Structure 1
Amino acid sequence: MKCQKCHEREATSHITQIINGKKQEMHLCTQCAAESPEFQEMKAGLDFGIGGFLGGIFGGKPKTLAGETTLQNNACPVCGMLFEDFLNDGRLGCGDCYSTFRNRLERPLRQIHGTCEHVGKVPSRMGGALKRDRKLAKLESELNAAVLKQEFEKAAELRDKIKELKDKDDKEA
């Protein structure tokens, strides 16, 4: 498809606008798109990097939390990375950064991924045992929570499920 402006080069940028309920399409080459005000407006709206994205999620420049040192003094003891560096480039320096910046990372990671625990992939030959172990740990955690809340009927049900799961494991072993 040829550029609709110069009619010479191949169209590489395709802009669709809906103005007053009417759809308008523009097919432009790279040079004409660079000169087009519509393309410039659209490009300006998308001009942000990982730092801007993470800054939005983490609330911009983090404030000092009660009992914490300031951002400049809160560096990873292993690699020396600052939390501000993470906000700028989106990468932590080492595995210890996760524990160093745990208070600042936990809420946003939970919002993004739904959990703070890395699950990852498991080889299929190990998957069954690991799934059972995780399910057992989850049930035991729920059992403890039910006992603390004094929800004894729910706790009894969970206890029975745990026993059933353990008995099933014993039979398979």
Structure 2
Amino acid sequence: MRCQRCGEREAIVRVKLPQESETDEKFLCSVCVRELAREYQGTACPSCGMTRQQLLHLRKVGCPTCYSFFKDEVDGMVRQFQHGHTQHYGSRPDEESVEKRLNQQLSRLKEQLNRKILAEDYEEAEVIKQQIESVEEDLRHV
């Protein structure tokens, strides 16, 4: 079979080339494969000048335009970082962090209550006691 790019040499490699609409599969000779690889690696973002090779090495984009210009590469990196997902999901705080925060608030309120009782400020102590009951109620629902 002849090379589908140059038509001169014998095709030895089957290559999937990204096209505008779909991936195109061609049979190419070794010379054409090397030429395409050089072109592919040397492609640079029109805004910041970052090359595909730099992007793949640094694993970071250079500017907002890089996201669309190197879409396939960025999607591949996101898939790798997100364990196969194509969108960034981020991380969620643990449920225990809410419980921990409420427990810390409860401890502070109890300390304040003890200080108000020792100072014989019973009106403030009653307000703090109501706050404690509210936090305890929140803790029951966590």
TM-score range normalised by the length of the shorter chain? 0.3 to 0.5
TM-score (norm 1): 0.30
Bigger radius of gyration: 2
